Amino acid sequence: MKPNVGSLDKGVRIVIGLVLVSLVFVGPRTPWGWIGIVPLLTGFVGVCPLYTPFRIDTRKTR
């Protein structure tokens, strides 16, 4: 798969993922926080499978 996540998008995804995963250990301690793994992975890898069918690319083009 081609990278389709830009640097700002990556940063936002990583922060949101960390906040959600932290809900498992701190705060309400809800298992729903594990959903934060998805934005974490897409942020670190740089590929969002949902962007592909819609041809969305948040990377800067030259």
Q: What is the pTM of this model?
A: 0.90
Q: How many domains does the chain have?
A: 1
Mean pLDDT confidence for 8-16: 97
Residue 31 is predicted with a pLDDT of: 93
Q: Which of 29, 9, 7, 6 lies closest to 17 in space, CA to CA?
A: 9
Q: Structural domain of residue 28, as residue ranges?
A: 1-62
**Could you tell me the CA-to-CA distances from 15 to 2, 34, 53 in Å, in that order?**
23, 14, 25
pLDDT of residue 27: 87
Integer CA distances (angstroms), 61 to 5, 6, 41, 58, in order: 12, 10, 23, 9
Chain CA centroid to CA 28, Å: 22
